[in-house]
């Protein structure tokens, strides 16, 4: 009997892994927002086209990347957040595995523009199927803009599954991911465009004002501050009045 077990080509392995890491456009939004926060951004703009199926673009004013780092960012298990196993006990970033951008690039057509404050010119990458098609210097502001286009363009089965979903479902999921990051980082200005009723312009502000910006003006008089301190922990936040109570927990957020 001949041998039948073979190693999968790297491109196929990446696409399979991407289906686990990036099951829908909302996860692209989540990963890119978290990268922007980790880059020290003070302003983050998210633009959506066709509920994320045609494009998701995130622009920030974070520290940006050098040309070498820009290319390395799309390699699997490439990360700036972990050097040795002991670092797992000291993590303060949103992610550390170095898988998200590689997964996104394996199932999307990606354009990246990024520049550090020390560089006169930035870097523009065009990536398709995890392969860099072009890398050129470009004029751009400090920070990073990443545009992920045509999700699952090279995996027809997954693309068909995405297109069979209601756009309202993807927009709702995108909003949930956006809202979570915006609530956890009220000191950062956020904008969401192209998401219909979920579009927002959220300036950097207090936690209370951010909650109102996300949840609506109806919460302005319904928020009760809570505060607790001990030698082990500090808890601060807001709860709603009984009039705001609901049967499920769609508006309960806890951040550690």
In this structure, what are the phi and psi dihedrals at residue 234, rounded to the nearest 5 degrees? Answer: -125, 130
Q: What is the pLDDT of residues 92-140, one digit of tens each?
A: 555 544 578 999 999 999 999 999 999 999 999 999 988 999 999 999 9
pLDDT at 1: 55
pLDDT above 80: residue 143: yes
Q: What is the pLDDT of residues 40-68, one digit of tens each?
A: 999 999 999 999 999 999 999 999 999 99
What whole-number distance in Å separates Cα of residue 126 and Cα of residue 111?
5
pLDDT at 186: 98
> Mean per-residue pLDDT for 162-184?
96
Structure tokens at 62: 């974070």
The secondary structure of the chain, three-state, reads CCCCCCCCCHHHHHHHHHHHHCCCHHHHHHHHHHHHHHCCCCEEEEEEEHHHCCEEEEEECCCCCCHHHHHHCCCCCCCCCCCCHHHHHHCCCCCCCCCHHHHHHHHCEEEEEEECCCCCCEEEEEEECCEEEEEEEECCCCEEEEEEECCCCCCHHHHHHHHHCCHHHHHHHHHHHHHHHHHHCCCCEEEEECCHHHCEEECCCCHHHHHHHHHCHHHCCCEEEEEEECCCCEEEEEEECHHHCCCCCCCCCCCC
- Calculate the alpha carbon distances from 175 to 4, 12, 104, 184 in Å: 46, 31, 19, 14
In this structure, what are the phi and psi dihedrals at residue 78, rounded to the nearest 5 degrees? Answer: -100, 125
pLDDT at 88: 44
- Indicate the pLDDT class of residue 15, thresholds 50, 70 and 90: low
Q: What is the mean pLDDT of the chain?
A: 88
pLDDT at 13: 58
- Indicate the pLDDT class of residue 76, thresholds 50, 70 and 90: low
pLDDT at 82: 47
pTM over 0.75: yes
Q: What is the pLDDT of residues 196-239, one digit of tens each?
A: 999 999 999 999 999 999 999 989 899 999 999 999 999 999 99
User: Cβ distance 123 to 137 under 8 Å?
Assistant: yes
User: Cβ distance 253 to 246 under 8 Å?
Assistant: no
Residue 28 pairs with which residues in a beta bridge?
A: none
pLDDT at 96: 43
User: Cβ distance 38 to 94 under 8 Å?
Assistant: yes
pLDDT at 126: 98
**Which of the four CATH numbers 3.40.50.10860, 3.40.50.300, 3.30.565.10, 3.40.50.720 does domain 10-210 have?**
3.30.565.10
pLDDT above 60: residue 27: yes
Residues in the chain: 256
Q: What proportion of the chain, given as a percentage, has pLDDT over 70?
A: 82
């Amino acid at each position: 009997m001949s041998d039948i077990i073979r190693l999968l080509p790297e491109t196929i392995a990446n696409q399979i892994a991407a289906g686990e890491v990036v099951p829908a456009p909302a996860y692209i939004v989540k990963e890119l927002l978290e990268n922007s926060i980790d880059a020290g951004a003070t302003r983050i703009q998210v633009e959506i086209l066709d509920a994320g199926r045609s494009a998701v673009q995130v622009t920030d004013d974070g520290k940006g990347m050098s040309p070498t780092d820009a290319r390395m960012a799309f390699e699997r298990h490439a990360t700036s957040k972990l050097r040795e196993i002991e670092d797992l006990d000291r993590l303060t970033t949103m992610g550390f595995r170095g898988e998200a951008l590689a997964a996104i690039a394996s199932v999307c057509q990606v354009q990246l523009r990024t520049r550090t404050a020390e560089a006169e010119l930035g870097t523009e990458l065009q990536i398709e199927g995890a392969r860099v098609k072009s890398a050129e210097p470009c004029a751009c502001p400090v920070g990073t803009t990443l545009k992920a286009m045509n999700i699952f363009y090279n995996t027809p089965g997954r693309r068909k599954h995405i297109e069979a979903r209601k756009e309202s479902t993807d927009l709702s999921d995108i909003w949930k991911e956006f809202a979570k990051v915006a609530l956890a980082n009220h000191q950062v200005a956020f904008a969401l465009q192209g998401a219909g009723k979920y579009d927002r312009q959220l300036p950097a502000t207090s936690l209370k004002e951010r909650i109102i910006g996300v949840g609506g003006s109806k919460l302005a008089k319904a928020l009760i501050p809570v505060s607790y301190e001990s030698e082990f922990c500090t808890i601060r936040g807001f709860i709603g009045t009984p009039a705001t109570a609901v049967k499920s927990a769609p508006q309960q957020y806890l951040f550690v």
